Amino acid sequence: MNNSQPSPPKLFLGFFRWFCHPKMLDYIEGDLFEVYDRRLKELGKRKADWKFMLDVLLLFRPGIIRPRKPFQNLTPSGMYKSYFKIGWRTLLRNKEYALINVAGLALSITCCILIFVLVKHHLSFDDFHQNKDRIYRIVTEQHRDFIAYSSSVPSPLGEVFREEHTFGEQVSRVLEVWDVLITIHGQDELVKFKEPEGIAFTEPSFFDIFNFPMKKGNIETALINPNTAILTEQMAVKYFGEKDPIGETIWLENKIPFTITGVLEDFPENTDFKTEIFVSYVSMEDFNPWLASDTAWGGITGGMFAYTKLRPNVTPAEVEEALEPYVKKYRPDSKNVHHYKLQPLSDIHFNAQYGGAMDKGNLWGLGAIGLFLLLTACVNFVNLATAQALRRSKEVGVRKVLGSLRAQLFWQFIFETAIITCISILFAIIAAYLLIPTINNFFKSTIPLNLMIDGTVILFVLGLGILITMLAGFYPALVLTGFKPVSALKGKLSQQQLGGFNTRRSLIVIQFAISQVLIIGVLVIMNQMKFARQAEMGFDQEAIVMIESGADSLELMKTLKGEFLRIPGVEKVSLCYEAPASLEGWNNSIYFDQSTEEVNFLTNIKLADADYLSTFDLELVAGRNLTPSDTVREVLVNETLLKNLGITSPEEAMGKEVAANGGSMKGPIVGVIKDFHDQSFHQGIGPLLITTDGGNYYNFAIKLNSNSVKTTLDQVGAIWKENYPDKLFEYSFLDDNIAKFYETEETILAGIQIFSMIAIFIGCLGLYGLISFMISQKTKEVGIRKVMGGGVGHIIWIFGQEFVRLIVIAFLIAAPIGWWIMNQWLQDFEFKVSLDIWTFGLAIGSSIIIAALTVGYQVLRLAYINPVLSLKTE
């Protein structure tokens, strides 16, 4: 086979070469490669790999497997050969038992492998940087009436820290601007790209801190001059194809040109730096002069970061102590007291307070779920193995009479468990490989498909196999090898000798308890999500479209607003900075009623025209609406702001002046609006102010007639393209934007639903196997009871009462555990559902129904069988 062509999976190719008879190896391998090449051309690599793996598994059969002779070299007595042979025959003789165990273990191992690689992927974020233990991000704690946490800092802080202290070997400031428009002026057309990850105004020292190698250009000089930029390789290909990008120009928001001076190697997937366009920091003066100034200590802008690589032996505590005086020196009059802290690079991905992408608690939760699933499958195995003990008692008795030692029999049964575990692992690896793309899409991750090339994963799978073999096989092996030969051969074994019903009951209780905890979790999260979706937000969000325009010409925006209102399907239009509820916000300090001191809380300022209230159907509880204006003249406040000021009557606030943004925005209160949710239900309703300011309208909010949405949007788009030919027409529905508040919770819900179904399915497999065994043991008893006058209901109750009792016991264990876990989860919401009795009733009710459906058919079949037939079973 040509080495330059894609090759089949190495793991399965090696497995085939290991087991295949040497005389057949060349012929069969040649056929496998020939078929693989044909499938590669017809179906593509992924399907060809999958079919190759299936072919290898189908070839693992007598006649093709190597001859017996090699087994004899394992030990002088050929013991392992005997273990394997007997174990294999036992599985073939008890196909149903083997299938149930393999299915349960394979499912749980698949989940464990996927969870492990997901956790491993997240734990590896940004661990490839040199001297990573010395890299920190400077963050801000804002102390007022509460403590707020921000990953950003005032823009001058990085420069001051660099000039005044020698703690940092390197210091770099970065401003990330997301969701920007990038354009390229071609010869014939203007090519437009919307970049959600945006661009980063970056100081050159950034690349001395972080290990992002340059492929073309000089990393030392690439960003020194104004209006210069460097891109990753994939962005260069996206913009310029195969053309050399060096010297080409890109435009930011059609306003600021940047010349490409370098190309970076593509970033690894396991990094939190998603921006792939870096532009010179000195050009920030053209983009945001206030941020670029040395006096911008008045507030914090999202995306304004400062990173440092500390010198060896410098501790974070030393640096934080040195940063303490900055507050009094640069922000002496602010009641929003800043405390600047150092956040380790290893903490950035996980710390939710500072915007971390993955809370470590979620990773530990996933790990716990994987452990629960594994435990459930092992419980199945132990239950079924001990239930099978009577059938194998005579085999054990004969072996002991013939001289087998208990230790030999113990390892015989452990070896049987190992065979089942190995088969399960094989199926689990295939399933995990096929499911990784789905997992990546589900968790928005980028786990590579090289599962069995990663040494850590291989060690995990091997360790998992050994753990399962010992965990699931140890107790059944002790039970089976503990029989006395005489009792075993006579078939006179007590229930205690067969593993005991109490042991099996306990294991079933554990299974049901795990399943019910997961069911309670699903029900609570579903109720909370339903509450979040259906609860009144305090404003209209139906059929409202948000169209981002950027801070464009106010006159053009007004003209466009008028044209939109002439469209028949458009009911209302407002120009605004943002919607009433948004992931973004402008929190600012305010002065009230001519006071020279700031109030001790932050206020969310919303800038909008006079049609804002009618467009979103916001309710006035006192006063009037804003007078149309292009500048700040009047303000509206919400009820919470008045409560924070200690004002009990809205009328009392009328006419009082409010000043914000350092006093540059002033106006009297002319109205009080009813409180509405301006953030997700994770946060409470905070103080809020609405005023006019035409220079900061970034969005059109358009209320549509719900009967003609598509037609109306087409007309809106046509008008947009006529007026903004250099911008992309993009819109989003407000209710969809609000749904994004709960993306994490929806992902958790979907994940727990899947894992719950898997846990329930594994438990049902165990119940099915156990009831099959119980029926085989009680067939004659049921026949006698029917002859003596026992009815169908009585027979059903004999079996049903046992499982109902166990489910109730499991519920008594699961209910307090589930209550505590979900109560802790709900603490993250300011507005939440209560944990009512119906949630727990539904959990136990669903468990009983699931158990009844699992065992019902077999019990009914036994209950209706002719007693003459059942009495002939022995």
Residue-level pLDDT at 699: 92
pLDDT in tens, 438-451: 888 887 777 776 76
Cα distances from 471 to residues 111, 221, 402, 415, 461, in angstroms, run: 18, 60, 29, 13, 15
Beta strands in 197-268 (DSSP E): 199-202, 214-216, 228-232, 249-252, 256-264
CA angle in degrees (0–180, nearest 5) for 594-598-602:
125
| C-alpha span between 356 and 347 (Å, rounded) | 8
Q: What is the pTM of this model?
A: 0.76
| C-alpha span between 682 and 463 (Å, rounded) | 40
Residue-level pLDDT at 70: 44
Residue 682 burial (CB < 10 Å; 0-12/13-18/19+)? Answer: middle
Residue-level pLDDT at 487: 57
Confidence of residue 206 (pLDDT cuts 50, 70, 90): very high
| Helices and strands (H, E) in the chain, number of each type | 29, 24
Residue 234 reports pLDDT greater than 80: yes
Tokens of 788: 């003596």
CB atoms within 10 A of CB 22: 9
Confidence of residue 152 (pLDDT cuts 50, 70, 90): very high
| C-alpha span between 874 and 871 (Å, rounded) | 7
672 contact partners, CB below 8 Å, separation of at least 6: 620, 621, 622, 623, 636, 637, 638, 639, 642, 650, 653
Residue, of 508 and 39, whose pLDDT is higher: 39
| C-alpha span between 830 and 647 (Å, rounded) | 23
Tokens of 118: 């997901």
Residue 497 reports pLDDT greater than 50: no
Residue-level pLDDT at 203: 95
Tokens of 254: 């059609």
Residue 561 reports pLDDT greater than 90: yes
CA 79 to chain centroid:
48
Residue 177 reports pLDDT greater than 80: yes
Pairing of strands 620-623, 657-660: unpaired
CB atoms within 10 A of CB 103: 17
Pairing of strands 228-232, 256-264: parallel
Residue-level pLDDT at 314: 93
- Least-confidence region, from 33-37, 482-486, 547-551: 482-486
Residue 597 reports pLDDT greater than 90: no
Concatenating the DSSP letter of every residue in 72-110 gives GGTSTT-HHHHHHHHHHHHHHHTHHHHHHHHHHHHHHHH
| C-alpha span between 365 and 371 (Å, rounded) | 10
What average pLDDT does range 580-594 have in this prediction? 85
pLDDT in tens, 658-710: 999 878 899 999 999 999 999 888 888 999 999 999 888 989 999 999 888 99
Concatenating the DSSP letter of every residue in 676-727 gives ---S-TTS-PPPEEEE--GGG--EEEEEEPTTSHHHHHHHHHHHHHHH-TTS
Identify the three-state secondary structure at position 658: strand
pLDDT in tens, 824-846: 989 888 888 988 898 899 989 98
Cα atoms in the 13 Å half-sphere on the side-chain side of 234: 7
In terms of Cα–Cα distance, which of 526, 527, 478, 520 is closest to 499? Answer: 478
Pairing of strands 688-691, 602-607: parallel
pLDDT in tens, 397-417: 777 777 767 777 778 788 888
Residue-level pLDDT at 75: 46
Which amino acid is located at 57 in the chain?
L
Confidence of residue 577 (pLDDT cuts 50, 70, 90): very high
413 contact partners, CB below 8 Å, separation of at least 6: 473, 476, 477, 480, 481
Identify the three-state secondary structure at position 234: helix
- Least-confidence region, from 319-328, 411-420, 777-786: 777-786
392 contact partners, CB below 8 Å, separation of at least 6: 480
Strand partners, 250: 258
CB 513 within 8 A of CB 676: no
Identify the three-state secondary structure at position 383: helix
Strand partners, 545: 702, 733
535 contact partners, CB below 8 Å, separation of at least 6: 681, 831
Concatenating the DSSP letter of every residue in 287-329 gives H-HHHHSTT--S---TTEEEEEEEPTT--HHHHHHHHTTHHHH
CB 479 within 8 A of CB 495: no
333 contact partners, CB below 8 Å, separation of at least 6: 598
| C-alpha span between 654 and 636 (Å, rounded) | 10
407 contact partners, CB below 8 Å, separation of at least 6: none
CB atoms within 10 A of CB 448: 13
Cα distances from 874 to residues 392, 396, 584, in angstroms, run: 17, 21, 75
Identify the three-state secondary structure at position 188: coil
| C-alpha span between 808 and 814 (Å, rounded) | 10
Residue 132 reports pLDDT greater than 90: yes
CB 517 within 8 A of CB 843: no
**Per-chain mean pLDDT for the chain:** 85
What average pLDDT does range 208-227 have in this prediction? 93
- The dihedral through the CA atoms of 160, 213, 283, 342 has a sign that is negative
- Phi, psi at residue 139, to the nearest 5°? -125, 175
Confidence of residue 866 (pLDDT cuts 50, 70, 90): confident
What average pLDDT does range 422-447 have in this prediction? 86
Residue-level pLDDT at 811: 92
Residue-level pLDDT at 872: 64
Confidence of residue 775 (pLDDT cuts 50, 70, 90): confident
Residue 475 reports pLDDT greater than 80: no
Residue 779 reports pLDDT greater than 80: no
**Count of all residues that appear for the chain in the document:** 874
Residue, of 275 and 42, whose pLDDT is higher: 275
| C-alpha span between 279 and 235 (Å, rounded) | 14
Confidence of residue 257 (pLDDT cuts 50, 70, 90): very high
Identify the three-state secondary structure at position 260: strand
Strand partners, 50: none
Residue-level pLDDT at 500: 47
Confidence of residue 493 (pLDDT cuts 50, 70, 90): very low
Residue-level pLDDT at 228: 96
Residue-level pLDDT at 562: 94
Tokens of 54: 């299936």
CB 56 within 8 A of CB 15: yes
Residue 252 reports pLDDT greater than 70: yes
Which amino acid is located at 370 in the chain?
G
Confidence of residue 72 (pLDDT cuts 50, 70, 90): very low
Cα atoms in the 13 Å half-sphere on the side-chain side of 860: 6
What average pLDDT does range 641-669 have in this prediction? 91
Cα atoms in the 13 Å half-sphere on the side-chain side of 402: 8
Residue-level pLDDT at 73: 43
